[in-house]
C-alpha cells in the first residue's frame, strides 16, 4: 500500500466573522489517500488556508517541502517513522507552530488509516484498555457578570449531562476581585459539591500578579485546576502559581511537541499538560508527551474544541491512559461541531462517553455537511 495524495478540505459556516473565541465555525479536514482505496481522516484546529499551504507546498530543497511531497509513495503502515520523516523534511521552515499543526493532522489520519487496515480501533492500537467510558467535561462561556447569569451559563452544560464543567475567566476578573469571588462562589453553590469545576483563564491575565489573588478562592471552592493563567511564553510567571494547592494546567494555547512541554514542566512548573492532539504533533507525539509526563510525575488532560473527530481521537487516547482523566466535550453551537460526522457521542447518566470501538478513529464524515460548508 502506498500514499498517493493528501487532501485538504476547508469548511466554514456562512456569515461567521470569527469575532468570538470559538474555532468550531470553521474547520480543516485532512485526508490521506492510498492506492488501495483506503483513506485516513483527521481535522486540525488551526488556520485552514495555512494548513493547505504547508501540505501542498512545492519542494524548495531537501529539507523544505510540503507534506504531500514528503509522503508521496510512502508505505503508511509505520506511522512513527513517517512522523520523523515529516518533522525532518520540513525542518527548514519550522519545528514549532503551524507546521506541527499540519503534521498533527496528517499523523492522526495515518493512525486512522492504520486502524482501518488492521481492523482495530485507535484505542486498541495505542495500548491495553483501562476503561471503555470516559468522563466528559465541557467549557461554558461567557460566564456572565451576575450570579443569575452564572447560573444560566452553567445550566447549558448541565443540560448536556455534564458532570464536570469548566468556566472561562473574563478580562474584568483582574480588576474586581470581590465581584469575581462572588461569581466563583455562585458557580460552586449552583452545582453543589458533586459536580467538578475547573477554570480556564485563557490568558486573561497578562501578569501573574493579576491572577494570584484569585488562587485561594479557587482552592476554597474546590476547583480541579486553573488552566492557561498566562501566555505560554511566560513560563517563569506560570511557576509563580505554585503553592496554592490547586493544579496548574497549560499548553493548549500554543505549545507543540514534547520539547516545549518538557520546558513547561521543568521551568513553568505546570502540573497538567493540556495538549491538543490536532496541534501538538498528532497521536504519535501525544503518546510521547504522555510518556514524558509520567516520568516527571505530571498529568495529561487533552484539549479539543472541534468536532467528534477530535473527541474520538481523545477518547481513544484516554481509554488506555494510566490515569482516569476527563475528555473535553465542546459545547459550541456550530453545526460543524455536531453534524460533521455520522457518529455522535452522547453523554450517559454517569457523565461519561463510550469509547469508539470501530476500526481507526471510529468516525466517518457526513458528506452532506461537508458539501454544505465546503469552501474553495
| Residues whose CB falls within 8 Å of the CB of residue 254, separated by 6 or more in sequence, listed in order | 97, 231, 232
Least confident of 13-27, 135-149, 180-194: 13-27
**Would the pTM count as exceeding 0.95?**
yes
Residue 113 has pLDDT above 90, yes or no: yes
Q: Tell me, what's the pLDDT at 62?
A: 86
pLDDT digit string (tens) for 213-248?
999 999 999 999 999 999 999 999 999 999 999 999
Residue 22 has a pLDDT of 84
Same domain? For 235 and 145 the reply is: yes
Angle, alpha carbons 300-263-292 (nearest 5°): 40
Give the span between the Cα atoms of 328 and 315, in whole angstroms: 9
| Whether 78 and 181 share a structural domain | no
Task: With a cut of 90, say whether residue 319 has pLDDT above it.
Answer: yes
Q: Regarding beta strands 248-250 and 374-375, do their DSSP bridges make them parallel or antiparallel, or are they unpaired? A: unpaired
Query: Is 4 strand, coil or helix?
Result: strand
* CATH code for position 283: 3.20.20.120
What confidence category does residue 204 fall into, taking pLDDT thresholds of 50, 70 and 90? confident
106 touches 32 (CB < 8 A): yes
Across 239-268, average pLDDT: 96
User: 262 and 157, same structural domain?
Assistant: yes
**375 domain-assigned:** no
Name the grid cell of 340.
Answer: 460533521
For residue 276, being part of any structural domain is answered with: yes
Query: Lowest mean pLDDT: which of 47-51, 141-145, 216-220, 363-367?
Result: 141-145
Yes or no: say if 124 and 362 are a contact pair by the CB < 8 Å rule: no
d(Cα 258, Cα 332) in Å, to the nearest integer? 29
The yes-or-no verdict on residue 17 having pLDDT over 90 is no
Residue with the larger pLDDT of the pair 175 and 343? 343
Please say which residue of 119, 140, 160 terminates a domain: 119
Q: Report yes or no: 311 and 122 within 8 Å, Cβ to Cβ.
A: no
User: Are 234 and 355 contained in the same domain?
Assistant: yes
Regarding whether 129 and 155 lie in a shared domain, the answer is yes
The total of other beta-carbon atoms located within 10 Å of residue 205's CB is 23
End position of a domain, from candidates 89, 119, 149: 119
What average pLDDT score do residues 174-193 get? 93
What angle do helix axes 177-191 and 147-159 make, rounded to 10 degrees? 40
Mean pLDDT across 314-320: 98
Task: Count up the domains in the chain and report the number.
Answer: 2
240 and 135 in a single domain? The answer is: yes
| Structural domain for 93, as ranges | 3-119
Q: Is residue 21 scored above 90 in pLDDT? A: no
- What is the radius of gyration, based on Cα positions, of the chain? 20
Residues 176 and 284 in one domain: yes
pLDDT at 48: 96
pLDDT at residue 20 is higher than 80: no
Are 63 and 145 members of one domain?
no
345 within some domain: yes
180 in the same domain as 38: no
Give the model's pLDDT for residue 86. 97
Within a domain: 359: yes
φ, ψ at 214 (rounded to 5°): -85, -15
Phi and psi, residue 76, nearest 5°:
-80, 0
CATH number for 95? 3.30.390.10
Residues in the chain: 376
* Residue 308 resides in a domain: yes
Q: What is the mean pLDDT of the chain?
A: 95
246 shares a domain with 358: yes
Helix intervals (H) in 76-132: 79-89, 98-118, 122-126
Q: Is residue 47 part of a domain?
A: yes
Region 116-122: mean pLDDT is 98
pLDDT of amino acid 175: 82
Give yes or no: residues 114 and 131 share one domain: no
Name the domain boundary from 93, 119, 145. Answer: 119
| Neighbour-count burial of 128, counting CB atoms closer than 10 A to its CB (0-12 exposed, 13-18 middle, 19+ buried) | exposed
Residue 371 belongs to a domain: no
Confirm whether 46 is domain-assigned: yes
The pLDDT confidence band at residue 172, using thresholds 50, 70 and 90, is confident
Amino acid at each position: 500500500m502506498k500514499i498517493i495524495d493528501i487532501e485538504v478540505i476547508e469548511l466554514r459556516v456562512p456569515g461567521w466573522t470569527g469575532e468570538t473565541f470559538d474555532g468550531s465555525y470553521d474547520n480543516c479536514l485532512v485526508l490521506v489517500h492510498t492506492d488501495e482505496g483506503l483513506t485516513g481522516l483527521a481535522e486540525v484546529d488551526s488556520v485552514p488556508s495555512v494548513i493547505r499551504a504547508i501540505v501542498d507546498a512545492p519542494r524548495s530543497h531537501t529539507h523544505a517541502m510540503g507534506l504531500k511531497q514528503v509522503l508521496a509513495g510512502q508505505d503508511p503502515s509505520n506511522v512513527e517513522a513517517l512522523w520523523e520523516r515529516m518533522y525532518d523534511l520540513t525542518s527548514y521552515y519550522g519545528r514549532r507552530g503551524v507546521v506541527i499543526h499540519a503534521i498533527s493532522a496528517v499523523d492522526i489520519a495515518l493512525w486512522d488509516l492504520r486502524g482501518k487496515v488492521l481492523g482495530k480501533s485507535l484505542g486498541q492500537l495505542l495500548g491495553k484498555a483501562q476503561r471503555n467510558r470516559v468522563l466528559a467535561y465541557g467549557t461554558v462561556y461567557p460566564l456572565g457578570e451576575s450570579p443569575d447569569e452564572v447560573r444560566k451559563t452553567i445550566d447549558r452544560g448541565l443540560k448536556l449531562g455534564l458532570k464536570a464543567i469548566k468556566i472561562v475567566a473574563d478580562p474584568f476578573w483582574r480588576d474586581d476581585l470581590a465581584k469575581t469571588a462572588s461569581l466563583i462562589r455562585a458557580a460552586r453553590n449552583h452545582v453543589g459539591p458533586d459536580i467538578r469545576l475547573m477554570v480556564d483563564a485563557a490568558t486573561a491575565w497578562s501578569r501573574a500578579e493579576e491572577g494570584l489573588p484569585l488562587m485561594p478562592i479557587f482552592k476554597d471552592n474546590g476547583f480541579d485546576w486553573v488552566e492557561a493563567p498566562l501566555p505560554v511564553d511566560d513560563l517563569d510567571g506560570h511557576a509563580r502559581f505554585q503553592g496554592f494547592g490547586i493544579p496548574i494546567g497549560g499548553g493548549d494555547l500554543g505549545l507543540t511537541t514534547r520539547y516545549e512541554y518538557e520546558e513547561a514542566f521543568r521551568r513553568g512548573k505546570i502540573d497538567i499538560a493540556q495538549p491538543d492532539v490536532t496541534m501538538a504533533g498528532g497521536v504519535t507525539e501525544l503518546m510521547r508527551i504522555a510518556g514524558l509526563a509520567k516520568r516527571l510525575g505530571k498529568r495529561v488532560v487533552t484539549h479539543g474544541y472541534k468536532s467528534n473527530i477530535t473527541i474520538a481521537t481523545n477518547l481513544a487516547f484516554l481509554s488506555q491512559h494510566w490515569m482516569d482523566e476527563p475528555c473535553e466535550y465542546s459545547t459550541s453551537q456550530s453545526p460543524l461541531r455536531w453534524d460533521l460526522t455520522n457518529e455522535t457521542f452522547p453523554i450517559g447518566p454517569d457523565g461519561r462517553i463510550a469509547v469508539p470501538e470501530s476500526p481507526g478513529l471510529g468516525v466517518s464524515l457526513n458528506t452532506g455537511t461537508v458539501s454544505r460548508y465546503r469552501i474553495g
